[in-house]
């Protein structure tokens, strides 16, 4: 049984939905090679978050918020950054412990 792929399939006719130029260029190149390309969309503080996943390329993915772009690997519904430091959901929220600590989401259990 084939695993279900994330998001919606991109095809040449829908490629213009990808707003970030570099992400759109990479998606177009993958499509021209006949690769499966998937698009997930989310929102972060009103801004559009787009994640393009290349399932046939070991889950390689890129996520854009505005002009920002982060590359990594899409695993378990999250983008694991290429440097291994961050883990983003489809809405662009980083779920790594360091970012949660910086945002004050974890407290001292002894208090």
Greater model confidence, 99 or 81: 81
Number of structural domains in the chain? 1
Confirm whether 55 is domain-assigned. Answer: yes
Confirm whether 107 is domain-assigned. Answer: no
Q: What's the CA gap between 9 and 63, in Å, rounded?
A: 16
Question: Percentage of residues in the chain with pLDDT exceeding 90?
Answer: 54
> Helix, strand, or coil here: 12?
helix
Confirm whether 20 is domain-assigned. Answer: yes
Q: How far separated are the first and last CA of the chain, in Å rounded?
A: 49
pTM above 0.85, yes or no: no
Phi, psi dihedrals of residue 100, rounded to the nearest 5°: -65, -40
Confirm whether 31 is domain-assigned. Answer: yes
pLDDT score of 38 more than 80: yes
Q: What's the CA gap between 12 and 96, in Å, rounded?
A: 34
Residues 60-92: tens digit of each pLDDT: 999 999 899 999 999 988 999 988 888 899 999
Give all strands (DSSP E) within 1-111, no chain letters. Answer: 8-9, 38-44, 47-54, 60-65, 68-75, 78-81, 87-88
């Amino acid at each position: 049984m084939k695993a279900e792929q994330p998001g919606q399939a991109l095809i040449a006719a829908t490629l213009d939905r990808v707003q970030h130029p570099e992400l759109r260029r990479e998606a177009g190149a993958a499509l021209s090679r006949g690769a499966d390309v998937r698009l997930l969309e989310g929102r972060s503080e009103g801004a559009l978050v787009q994640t393009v996943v290349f399932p046939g390329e070991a889950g390689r993915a890129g996520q854009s918020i505005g002009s920002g772009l982060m590359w990594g690997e899409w695993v378990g519904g999250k983008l694991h950054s290429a440097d291994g430091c961050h883990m983003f959901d489809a809405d662009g929220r980083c779920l790594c412990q360091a970012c949660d600590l910086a945002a004050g989401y974890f407290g001292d259990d002894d208090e």
